[in-house]
Amino acid sequence: MKSISRFRVLVLLSGASVLAALAAGADKVPPGLTSVADRLIGTPVETYPFNWGEGVQMMGLMRAARAAHDTRYAGYVERWARIYEARDIPALLDIGPSVPDPARRGYCGHWSPASAVLYLYQDRRKPEHLKLAQGVADFIETAAERSPDGGLGHWQGSHQLWVDTLYMACPLLSGLGQVQHRPEYTQDAAKQIVVHARHLQDEKTGLIYHMWDWQAGTHSEGFWGRGDGWVLMSLAETMEVMNPRDPKYQELAAIARKLAKGLESTQDAGGLWHTVLDDPRSYPECSATAMFSYGMLKLVRLRVLPPAYTARALKAWRAINERYVKDGLVVGVSAGTGPKGADAYRAMPVGTETWGTGAYLLAASEVARNPK
């Protein structure tokens, strides 16, 4: 990126100009961002394991730190990271000689925390943060299970592509590709989205199924809201660091536009999306709605989606805050969900979950960048 950072612009200002600029920036920070982030950093950092939901939560908190210019949030993530930087990579990724769940050795849910630590490195430039992120990426690139066409399996021996895996891998690979000048990482992130879409994106609706089993040659049934959210966010994170002239960029843009078109017809009148996207009788779900708000706003900013999606995303943002944010807690988030079909999605309980808090903070960080 060649644009001058907002921080550098502020350094060039002086006196009252600096104070005015900071005040203007503070006015753009959504109130929900600070209430949710402040409540989060009041919880004991050691209660959050090195797992997927916590990784997404810390990614959101890092983006909140940048949006609000609040070092307390990044400091909290750093205290969390230090717990796990003291451990070796095999233990963190469940690939050592003794793992808690041998049936899920190398489970991708342990990759997303490395994205949060990479964001921390980008802000604080401490080598131990980069070392952890690089170690997880090395495993993904050299030892994770892959389908015959190169898609990442959900765990070693799963022989399945899950859309969840995309957000576990793509932000890390694309971000590290940029930081380390390793274009092959970014290309692999793009490839993952293309491969998953090839097997899971519905030609008619543009919506995306949850899982494809490459041994059986079949996919799961039902369009799961948060699953499509993982895809839209992965597109946004990966395309942000790509050259628009890259042939794969155009492939990703086509996938994004097709998915966004499908999402248009499934957003309800109040601005929310439901846990089964094409079933308005299923409950509206907070994390999916936050993910779509974030992904749409970011893809509009990147000029992948047309500006009309901004109004749709902001309507979703307002609906989330009216219905799901209570005293700094994000509620209405469906529990961890396997690819068991629409009936199972409808039956999942809802509450407060780390991945919902993370999705909310990600959306808040992008709302803060929106001029409207």
pLDDT of residue 5: 43
Q: Of the given ranges (10-14, 105-109, 111-115, 217-221), which has the lowest mean pLDDT?
A: 10-14
Q: Alpha-carbon distance 164 to 150, whole Å?
A: 16
Residue 20 has pLDDT above 70, yes or no: no
Q: For residue 213, what are the β-bridge partners?
A: 160, 218
Q: How far apart are CA 87 and CA 84, in angstroms?
A: 5
Tokens found for residue 91: 């233990």
Torsion angle (degrees, nearest 10) of CA 195, 115, 366, 210:
30
- Residue 218 pairs in a beta bridge with 213
DSSP 276: B
The answer to whether the CB of 244 falls within 8 A of the CB of 236 is: no
* Alpha-carbon distance values, 33 to 9, 19, 146, 283, 286 (Å): 24, 21, 37, 24, 15
Query: What domains sit in the chain, N to C, each tagged with a CATH number?
Result: 31-369 (1.50.10.10)
Q: What is the pLDDT of residue 4?
A: 40
Cα–Cα distance list, 176 to 25, 128, 131, 149, 181 (Å) = 28, 14, 11, 23, 8
pLDDT mean over 143-166? 98
Separation CA 56–CA 65 (nearest Å): 14
Give the pLDDT confidence of 310-337 residue by residue, as tens digits.
999 999 999 999 999 999 999 999 999 9
Would the pLDDT of 14 be above 70?
Answer: no
Structure confidence at residue 97 (pLDDT): 81
In this predicted structure, the answer to whether residue 118 has a pLDDT above a threshold of 60 is yes
pLDDT in tens, 246-296: 999 999 999 999 999 999 999 999 999 999 999 999 999 999 999 999 999
Task: Categorize the per-residue pLDDT at 73 as very low, low, confident or very high, splitting at 50, 70 and 90.
Answer: very high
B/e letters for 34-45, b = 16+ CB within 10 Å, e = fewer, are: bbbbeebbeeeb
Q: Looking at the DSSP assignment, which residues form a beta bridge with residue 161?
A: 212
Mean pLDDT of the chain: 93
72: CB partners within 8 A, 6+ apart:
41, 65
Nearest to 286 by CA among 262, 317, 259, 257: 317
